[in-house]
Structure 1
Amino acid sequence: MMKYLFGCICSLLLLLPSGLGAQGSDEKRPPVTRTFFLNNAYVVQSPGKVIDLGSVLIRDGLIQAVGKDLKAPADAKVMKADSMYIYAGFIDGLSNLGVPKPKEDDRSNRGRGQREYNPSYERAGIQTERSVVDMLSPEDKALSEMRAIGFTAAHVVPRGGMLPGQGAVILLGGDDAGKMIVSEGSSLFAQFQGASGVYPNTDMAIMSKFRELYTQARQHKTHSESYAKNARGMSRPAQNDVLAAFGESIDGQRAIFFAVDGIKEMHRALTLSKELGFPLALAEVTMGQKAIAPLKASGASIFLTLDLPKAKAEAKKGEKEETDEEKMMLEKQRAAAQQLHEEQAAMLSKSGLAFGFSTLNAKAKDIRPNLERMIKAGLTEDQALAALTTTPAQMLGLSDIMGTVEKGKIANLVVTDQPYFAKGANIRYVFVDGMPSEYEVKKKKKKKPGDPDAKVMAAGEWNLEIDVPMEQMATPTLTITDEDGSLSGKLVSGMGTNDISNMSLEGDNLTFSYTTEGGGQTVTVSFDLTIDGDSLEGSMSAGSFGSFDVEGSREPKK
């Protein structure tokens, strides 16, 4: 007889096969197998290279075989993938994924009593000695949100001021920060982020300070190397970890990644690189089509932002168009600027410039729609796929281990039921380091006849009843808040309190879903509910484990 244990993380319900006495245990179970077989799928090995109805064998975190006519080994778990599409996992060129925001408590007091024109390195936002690997948190919900749209690896950097520290490439899976790391010290990160109330706090001051630091770092490196060869007659070099961190960039071995906000900051970063001679990578690039010549001349790696200006919603039938002349002119200017952002990727591709994407300022829920907007503006699907896979792999020095679906590479894969960029395509599995996350396809509920545009209110405290074989999760409380149309909330049950951040209300249909780790895999559980006044009903689905009925009522306002 099989028992099932429902776990709850971020109000998710996960059904796990368990043995006697397993219920309530916090002990992590090893996966049953690390061998998986995907068969009869369209294997997109790289942009433009597809194996029709091929197979992929994964073993111990690596792709062991790719091709036609493969047979599933006896120890492999066969995943349902008939006529699906398999891609290499996507690579984020620069982000803060897995890096918690710093606490605000001590910031205002940091450096008090120092002269504003000569603050400490830390107060000035100069912390090149720091490594992002010391800050990683596998619990960051942004990791699972990005994984759910196909991202499996990311170049992540610290948060901070003008020089926050050193970046690393990580995998977007697992619960051990150390095991997430692919390469440490991958970059030195810089941005035009001024210090609060002290020097440098303007772009020009940041450029001046950067030149000063780089020159000092060169001198420090030369002195240290000379002392190491023959110390006699030389003063001992001072220990300075901030300056020492520039060493690999001075040698041309490590790029300095500049996150730029607009074309002016991009030109300033290009100027510093040309003057000082360090290898440059530009991230969060916008309006790059206005600087094609200098970008080509620089040889810099380019990562375009996936954060686009919000698209204006089309006017609903019956709504009056704006007729005020001044407002119409402003709207035309806004539309023209939006078009420039959407066309950037296509125009850079047309010019022959290669690029990846970065998500430092992007929200996971906006990324697929923004890619769709870029494709509508002229970017081809193969060009978009290259910017998500092969190009960032090459720019980050990862081509030997990821970026394509080939034997021997890390098993980072995305599996979809239609081509990824097709309208309505659903992600079914995402493999990170050979371990799968399974995603349930959301079925859109049909609206009640005669009520296609129902208007309901979701906010409030709801008492739910879920038809699950576990008392702790059978009667949770769902609290929903509505801030200017943005829904969020929390679910409280016998398993604890969990935040909810991705709710969607369309008509009377309320949906939200979450992922959780357990039993060596990740499962997505989705809630699909219909609100009718102060009552609701619907279902909760837990991946391949089935669906369960949900009912609920709203507490009266006190």
Structure 2
Amino acid sequence: MTKLALSWSSLLLLLLLPLVGFSQNSADDRPPVTGAYFIQNALVVTQPGAEPTMSNVLIRDGLLAGIGKNITAPADAKVMKGDSLYVYAGFIDGLSHVGVPKPKDDDRPRYEGYPGTAPNDVAGIQPDRSVMEMIKASDKSVEEMRKLGFTTAHVVPHGNMLPGQGAIIQLGGDVANDMVIRKGTSLFAQFVGGRRVYPATDMAIMSKFRELYKQAEQAKTHAARYAKNPRGMARPETDAVLTAFDASIDKKRPIFFAVDNVKEMHRAMTLQKELGFPLVLANVSDGFRAMDMLKSSGTPLFLSMELPEDKAGKKKKDDEKEEDPVKAKMEERRMAAMKDYVGQAAMMAKAGVPFGFSSMEVKAKDVRGNLERMIGAGLTADQALAALTTTPAKMLGLSDMLGTVEKGKIANLVISDKPYFEKGANVRYVFVDGMPHEYEVKKKKTKKAGDANATAKAAGSWSVEIDAPGQDGDVEMTITGEPGDFSGSLSFGGESTSLSAIELDGNTLTFEAKIDAGGQSLPLSFEVVIDGDSFDGSVTAGSFGTFDVEGSRKDPE
């Protein structure tokens, strides 16, 4: 590889020009949604439980215009050969922050008054807010989830007790209004207290929720009576916080409670029984502890795709002595508990409890692996597919437009080179609203696996070489500090950018950077394994793909 003295914009062109042909057409400069596409001779899985059937798929005006062996390609359609490709309905995320950037601490309201009288925005009571005001179509999470096969998501704001109202969006489009399917689809609640203000505990949150709901009922009743005959009645006050509950009081809008544990699950269901609102439990991680309750109540359920880390395969340190019996017993209990968490989805399916999935806490890079672990624990591929397609479509009221590969439905598709849940399968295309996004499958170099028990030195000056298709690029990197307090920068052609989120886990180094791409910010995410004075790994450049990266220390000891 040769060193190139280029500007950041030149580096961007170096990395991305080989991919511009399809990526620009499918994202920024894409053709109008009236375009037609014809997927020829693909193995189509129309719904969970259906056998893959060799078929053709016609997409027109963002809809599935035809599926079958005998349909032919119209003259104006772009023909895509589907030989050996598997076609599924696009996946649906039941509760998510995808496309909703997390606010910085500096953006949060400050309050120094009495904790019991904090304003609603400080206390985290903001049910009148709409997530539509917060969606950023260019947020990297949109592309990260889309390349996994997710095409639709029920998204909600960040916040505390009552962050606001959710919306169902498509994971495609240039601005929020291009993405939305339905606004105000949910009221989002969670047991997250305010910082040093009331309500700060679960019990306080339950008390405040009851108070607000009862006040909202009273205000709604008063307003209805006033509308019929205002004589002798005080004019109703306008309170956006209370009015936000109206649709839930009328049982027209569910309240999605994100619950981190079985206690929070019981508390949310207690509130529902007392007040009568339509409830959905989401981000559920230990529902296996309340299986009978969930089955008898029929409460809609979205399980967390986050799973405990599996440390069983990690090697012991060379100097580790024979394991302590107490520690061994603790590890045995930890492994038993992890087995329950990983097997939760299979337990639900076996018990006949319908569920979808939520990505609120999981990292996108862990989703495929966690689904594989669930299947390894007894969940079948058909059950997993149902939890990603037909079940969330039904729970979110989208079955008439999404969830299956049927004529007339929205053309949201995920296309893989093997059955999706088979090990080694790659997503090749994702269609959102009939628009294609192509993902290149690169032949991976044989890389050393990271070792969490290894020791490595990240600080220093490094020469970094990025291998883009048909091109090579070289960058200089400097890291200073110690684990937990790293800082650094990338330099290229006299220009530099700061590194962020620098973490060293054993000998695995991860960090992020952003470069200016013609006025737009392009995120770069690196993951490398350090071996003495060299490293190798990969860098993901936004939606343009993942490239091999190598590095050597410029100041070896």
The question of a shared fold, defined as TM-score above 0.5 by the shorter chain, is answered with yes
* 1:469–1:284 CA distance, 2 compared to 1 (3 A): closer
d(CA) in 1 for partners of 2:392 and 2:56?
A: 25
> 1:406: which partner in 2?
406
2:540 to 513, 523, 542: 513
Amino acid in the other structure paired with 1:430: V
- In structure 2, the CA distance between the partners of 1:206 and 1:315, relative to structure 1 (3 Å rule), is closer
Counterpart of 2:509 in structure 1: which amino acid? S
Deviation at 1:343, TM superposition (A): 1.2
Contact 2:261/2:284, CA 8 A, preserved across alignment: yes
Cα displacement (A) at 1:445:
2.2
Q: In the alignment, is residue 39 of structure 1 matched against residue 43 of structure 2?
A: no
Tell me the equivalent position of 1:196.
Answer: 195
Q: In 1, distance between residues paired with 2:301 and 2:12?
A: 40
Q: 1:105–1:307: structure 2 CA closer, same or farther, 3 Å change rule?
A: same
Deviation string, structure 1 residues 106-138 (Cα, Å, up to 9, x no partner)? 53x62333x322222212211010000011111
Whether the 8 Å CA contact 1:6–1:16 is kept in 2: the answer is: no
Residue number in structure 2 paired with 1:237: 236
Instruction: Give me the whole-angstrom Cα distance separating, in 2, the residues matched to 1:383 and 1:469.
Output: 42
Equivalent residue, structure 2, for 1:110: 110
Pairs within 5 Å for 1:122-137 = 122-137=121-136
| Partner-residue secondary structure (3-state), 1:513 | strand
2:351 equivalent to 1:351: yes
Give the aligned partner of residue 374 of structure 1: 374
Q: 1:291 to 1:259 in 2, by over 3 A?
A: same
Three-state SS of the structure 1 residue aligned to 2:46 is strand
Give distance in 2, aligned partners of 1:65 and 1:287. Answer: 42
State how far apart, in whole Å, the 2-side matches of 1:159 and 1:9 are: 35
Cα separation, 1, equivalents of 2:343 and 2:437? 33
- 1:105 counterpart letter in structure 2: D
The answer (yes or no) to whether the contact 1:270–1:298 under 8 Å persists in 2 is no
- Please tell me whether the aligned partners of residues 138 and 174 of structure 1 are also in contact (alpha carbons under 8 angstroms): yes
Matched residue, 1:418: 418
> One-letter code of the match for 1:417?
D
Alignment of 1:26-425 (within 5 A): 29-31=29-31, 34-105=35-106, 107=108, 110-113=110-113, 115-316=114-315, 323-425=323-425
Query: What SS does structure 1 have at the residue aligned with 2:116?
Result: coil
* CA 468–251 in structure 1, closer or farther in 2 if over 3 Å, else same: closer
What per-residue deviation string (whole Å, max 9, x for no partner) do you get for residues 462-500 of structure 1?
365878899xx9666564865232322437688687442
Shift of the alpha carbon at 1:30? 4.5
Q: Which moved more, 1:45-54 or 1:388-397?
A: 45-54
Amino acid corresponding to residue 52 of structure 1 in structure 2: T
Q: CA deviation at 1:514?
A: 3.3
User: 2:430 maps to what in 1?
Assistant: 430
CA distance in 1 between counterparts of 2:111 and 2:337 reads 41
In the alignment, is the contact (CA less than 8 A) between 2:465 and 2:550 conserved in 1? no
Matched-pair contact (CA < 8 Å) for 1:6–1:13:
no
Conserved 8 A contact 1:111-1:123: yes
Alpha-carbon distance, 1:177 to partner: 1.2
Whichever residue aligns with residue 511 of structure 1, its letter is S
Partners of 1:42 and 1:439 in 2: how far apart? 18
Matched, 1:16 2:36: no
Contact 1:505-1:511 within 8 A present in 2 as well? no
Listed as ranges, the gaps of 5+ residues in structure 2 are: 1-8, 449-453, 478-489, 491-498
Q: Deviations over 1:38-63 (max 9, x none)?
A: 11111011001235211111112111
Distance 1:467 1:443 in 2: 13
| Separation in 1, partners of 2:425, 2:528 | 18
Distance change >3 Å, CA 482–CA 214, structure 1 → 2? closer
Task: Give me the whole-angstrom Cα distance separating, in 2, the residues matched to 1:229 and 1:278.
Answer: 25
Q: Secondary structure at the match of 2:120?
A: coil
Change (3 A) 1:11 1:277: farther
Question: Equivalent residue of 2:238, what SS?
Answer: coil
Rounded Cα–Cα distance in structure 2 between residues aligned with 1:124 and 1:37: 52
CA positional deviation for 1:276: 0.5
Matched, 1:487 2:510: yes
Whether the aligned pair in 2 keeps the contact of 1:87 and 1:413 (CA below 8 Å) is: yes
Give the whole-Å Cα distance in 1 for the aligned partners of 2:124 and 2:458.
Answer: 43
TM-score by length of 2: 0.84
RMSD: 3.2
Q: Partners in 2 of 1:340 and 1:446 — Cα distance?
A: 34
Deviation of 1:6 after TM superposition, in Å, equals 8.5
Distance 1:29 1:419, change over 3 A: closer
The aligned counterpart of 2:6 is none
| 8 A Cα contact 1:128 1:164, kept in partner | yes
1:528 paired to 2:548: yes
Assess if the C-alpha contact under 8 Å between 2:523 and 2:542 holds in 1: no
User: Runs of 5+ in structure 1 lacking a partner?
Assistant: 449-453, 517-523, 535-553
Shift of 1:341: 0.3
